């Protein structure tokens, strides 16, 4: 039994490298790369020493993940970026978070913890809008100020005045924090314009999130999204865990994309351990990941049909989704593919013989195809999606939107082909049709094509598993790992990154950056000429998981 073939190949990052600073701006290389066409993938923060924070910027360029690091010390910016933090340190007037909607950076002050959490760096957001939400998140959780950020409202955790950010210097990740709602006024008054707060307890079974819909009655002028209701502090729960427990926790960061999260996390761990995953185990991972994609894409269609009042279509599509979930449970015992992907491999083979898997997949795909064709021939449904929630190509590019949402707006990248991981390099993924319209209909069409592609991959993987037979072991032992690495996967929502730092086999820091978080920043841009009743469609067509965004 051979275990050659492509490795799960995440990017490895040398533990202590920090790019030499140049000029006054933070992350000079990242700024340059993005200006030259690279795609911004994320900005991470890790505790460094007792009172420092390390920032890691990640961009994707021609199939390569490029990383740049900056150290920010508490109280002062580390060498190099110092000149950027020229703002007055502010009086930090405890109790008045100067995070007004028009804060242009100069007004950004500490969140009240004067004297300790004064770390600053020059914000990336003016040059890279996609970094905006990352910087807000890092400020909430680590207390590091991006100087020059255009709109520094609390995002995942409104830390009350006088408290330290939980993960930053001086913070205590075990001490309870009660969110401070003062800097988050829920009504905005203007001439003829009012704000409709929608959430966090919404009609129907939805995840908790609040949309503040600014409207003059019919047109939606702007939508603000508040995700802090669901912030659970998962990042802090990784600290000190074993890599095995880390995989279980990663699955629960974004429950509807459990397999993808476990794959990205395990890819990073396996990179650190220099582990080669048996080929059969990689194929099993692909089967579970692609069925997860099918289930998620069906879920967005179910929500579309529900919003459009297509009762029969809702019933048949939700039945198909149930069949997919049941098939997943037959293959591994969990309807969400949990506990399958473990560091070093998988826990076992598919729970059905290959021929049975192929038969079940064939039947489900046939049923889905017929009903989706019928749905797309239903004018009263298609008209609801056409022209709804247009995310223009330019906006999608500005926010570096990933996944099906990006692919419907001309952002073609799919990590499965651009940076092949796991067994995707040896499986043929059908070339996706290009879409640039950016409306809900285009997103639906992209997902329909992806469902077909996912079934195609499942079939190839199962065929290959049938030929290869069982490996000697489904799982390679992972040695005690140390260092930092980034793993990735193409979750149903889009590119997912997992930054893992470990020391002596124990996790010291993990960030699961979900596509939902990355894409949610572009969500307000998808309402250029939409009316109130479109909101449900735009939301459904983005297909985001709030749990993954807020984690």
Partner 1 sequence: MPWVPRGLRDGVVTSGYPRRPDGYGAGFLGHIEVARVPGDDARALAAAAGACPTGAIQLARLGEADGTGGDGFHGSAPLGVRLDRGRCILCGRCVRLAPGTFRADPGFETAGIGRRALVVPAGEGDEEEVAAARASLARRVRGLRRSVHVRHVDAGSDGSEEWEVSALTNPVYDIQRLGVFFTASPKHADLLLVTGAGSAGMEGPLRQTYELMPEPKVVVAVGTDAASGGMVGEGYAARAGAARVVPVDVFVPGSPPSPFGVLHGILAAVGILGSRRAAGAEDPAARTPAVRGPVAESPAVRSRP
Q: Which residue ranges make up the site for partner 1 (CB under 8 A)?
A: 157, 166, 172-179, 200-201, 203-208, 228-234, 236-237, 244-245, 248-249, 252-256, 258, 299, 310, 312-313, 315-316, 318-319, 321-322, 325-326, 329-330, 333-336, 338-339, 347, 371, 374, 378, 545-548
Comparing CB distances to partner 1, the nearer of 198 and 482 is 198
Q: How far is the CB of 335 from partner 1 (least distance, A)?
A: 6
Q: Is 431 exposed, middle or buried (0-12, 13-18, 19+ CB in 10 A)?
A: exposed
Comparing CB distances to partner 1, the nearer of 277 and 544 is 544
**Distance, CA of 431 to CA of 429 (rounded, Å):** 6
Q: Are 538 and 527 in contact (CB under 8 A)?
A: yes
Q: How far is the CB of 373 from partner 1 (least distance, A)?
A: 10
| Helix ranges (DSSP H) in 71-164 | 132-142
Q: How far is the CB of 419 from partner 1 (least distance, A)?
A: 26
Comparing CB distances to partner 1, the nearer of 2 and 203 is 203
* 3-class SS of residue 366: helix
Comparing CB distances to partner 1, the nearer of 282 and 375 is 375
Comparing CB distances to partner 1, the nearer of 88 and 205 is 205
Q: How far is the CB of 283 from partner 1 (least distance, A)?
A: 22
Determine how many CB atoms are found less than 10 A away from the CB of residue 362. 12
Comparing CB distances to partner 1, the nearer of 88 and 201 is 201
R_g (Cα) of the chain, nearest Å:
23
Three-state SS sequence of 150-185? CCCCCCCCCCCCCCCCCCCCCCCCCCCCCCCCCCCC
Comparing CB distances to partner 1, the nearer of 249 and 497 is 249
Comparing CB distances to partner 1, the nearer of 371 and 437 is 371
Q: How far is the CB of 292 from partner 1 (least distance, A)?
A: 11
Q: How far is the CB of 339 from partner 1 (least distance, A)?
A: 5
Q: How far is the CB of 221 from partner 1 (least distance, A)?
A: 25
Q: Are 134 and 43 in contact (CB under 8 A)?
A: yes
For the chain, first and last CA: distance in Å?
A: 40
Comparing CB distances to partner 1, the nearer of 139 and 321 is 321
Q: In sequence order, what are the residues at sequence separation of 6 or more whose Cβ sits closer than 8 angstroms to the Cβ of residue 326?
A: 335
Tokens of 389: 């929630």
Three-state SS sequence of 389-453? CCCCHHHHHHCCCCHHHHHCCCCCCCHHHHCCCCCHHHCCCCCCCCCCCCCHHHHHHHHHHHHHH
Q: How far is the CB of 211 from partner 1 (least distance, A)?
A: 14
**Distance, CA of 507 to CA of 221 (rounded, Å):** 44
Q: How far is the CB of 528 from partner 1 (least distance, A)?
A: 28
- H-helix or E-strand containing 542? helix 535-542
* 3-class SS of residue 93: coil
Q: How far is the CB of 299 from partner 1 (least distance, A)?
A: 7
- H-helix or E-strand containing 537? helix 535-542
Q: How far is the CB of 534 from partner 1 (least distance, A)?
A: 20
Q: How far is the CB of 172 from partner 1 (least distance, A)?
A: 7
Q: How far is the CB of 400 from partner 1 (least distance, A)?
A: 23
Comparing CB distances to partner 1, the nearer of 64 and 383 is 383
Comparing CB distances to partner 1, the nearer of 330 and 418 is 330
CA distances from 396 to 31, 401, 513, 538 (A): 18, 5, 18, 15
Comparing CB distances to partner 1, the nearer of 323 and 398 is 323
**Distance, CA of 195 to CA of 189 (rounded, Å):** 7
User: Dihedrals φ, ψ of 53, to 5°?
Assistant: -135, 140
What DSSP letter does each residue of 265-310 carry, written as one string? HHHHHHHHHTPPPPHHHHHHHHHHHHHHHHHHHHHHHHHHHHHHT-
Q: In sequence order, what are the residues at sequence separation of 6 or more whose Cβ sits closer than 8 angstroms to the Cβ of residue 174?
A: none
Tokens of 524: 């307000």
Comparing CB distances to partner 1, the nearer of 107 and 179 is 179
């Amino acid at each position: 039994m051979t275990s050659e073939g492509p490795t799960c190949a995440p990017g490895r990052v040398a533990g202590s490298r920090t790019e030499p600073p140049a000029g006054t701006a933070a992350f000079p290389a990242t700024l340059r790369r993005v200006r030259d066409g690279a795609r911004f993938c994320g900005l991470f923060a890790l505790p460094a020493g007792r009172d420092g924070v390390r920032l890691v910027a990640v961009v994707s360029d021609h199939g390569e993940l490029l990383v740049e690091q900056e150290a920010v010390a508490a109280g002062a910016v580390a060498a190099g970026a110092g000149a950027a933090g020229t703002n007055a340190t502010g009086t930090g007037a405890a109790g008045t978070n100067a995070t007004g909607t028009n804060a242009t950076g100069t007004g950004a002050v500490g969140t009240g913890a004067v004297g300790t959490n004064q770390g600053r760096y020059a914000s990336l957001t003016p040059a890279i809008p996609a970094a905006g939400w990352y910087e807000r998140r890092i400020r909430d959780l680590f207390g590091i100020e991006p100087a020059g950020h255009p709109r520094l409202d609390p995002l995942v955790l409104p830390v009350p005045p006088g408290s330290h950010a939980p993960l930053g210097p001086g913070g205590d990740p075990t001490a309870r924090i009660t969110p401070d709602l003062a800097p988050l006024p829920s009504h905005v008054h203007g001439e003829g314009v009012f704000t409709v707060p929608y959430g966090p307890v919404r009609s129907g079974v939805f995840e908790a999130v609040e949309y503040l819909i600014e409207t003059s009655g019919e047109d939606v002028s702007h939508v603000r999204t508040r995700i802090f209701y669901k912030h659970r502090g998962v990042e802090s729960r990784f600290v000190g865990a074993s890599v095995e427990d880390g995989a279980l926790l990663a699955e629960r960061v974004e429950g509807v994309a459990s397999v993808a999260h476990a794959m990205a996390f395990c890819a990073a761990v396996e990179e650190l351990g220099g582990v080669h995953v048996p080929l059969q185990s990689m194929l099993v991972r692909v089967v579970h990941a692609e069925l997860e994609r099918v289930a998620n894409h069906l879920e967005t269609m179910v929500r579309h049909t529900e919003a459009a009042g297509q009762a029969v279509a809702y019933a048949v599509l939700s039945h198909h989704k149930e069949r997919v979930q049941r098939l997943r449970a037959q293959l591994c015992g969990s309807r969400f593919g949990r506990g399958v992907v473990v560091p070093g491999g998988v826990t076992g083979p598919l729970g059905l013989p290959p021929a049975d898997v192929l038969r079940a997949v064939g039947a489900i795909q046939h049923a889905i195809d017929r009903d989706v064709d019928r749905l797309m021939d239903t004018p009263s449904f298609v008209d609801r999606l056409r022209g709804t929630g247009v995310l223009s190509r330019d906006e999608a590019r500005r926010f570096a939107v990933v996944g099906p949402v990006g692919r419907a707006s001309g952002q073609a990248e799919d990590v499965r082909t651009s940076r092949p991981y796991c067994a995707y390099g040896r499986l043929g993924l059908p070339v996706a049709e290009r879409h640039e319209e950016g409306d809900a209909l285009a997103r639906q069409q992209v997902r329909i094509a992806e469902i077909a592609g996912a079934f195609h991959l499942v079939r190839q993987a199962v065929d290959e598993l049938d030929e290869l037979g069982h490996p000697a072991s489904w799982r390679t032992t992972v040695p005690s790992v140390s260092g930092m690495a980034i793993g990735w996967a193409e979750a149903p929502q889009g590119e997912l990154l997992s930054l893992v730092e470990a020391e002596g086999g124990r996790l010291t820091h993990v960030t699961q950056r979900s596509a939902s978080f990355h894409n949610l920043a572009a969500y307000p841009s998808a309402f250029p000429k939409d009316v109130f009743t479109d909101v449900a469609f735009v939301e459904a067509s983005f297909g985001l998981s709030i749990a993954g965004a807020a984690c």
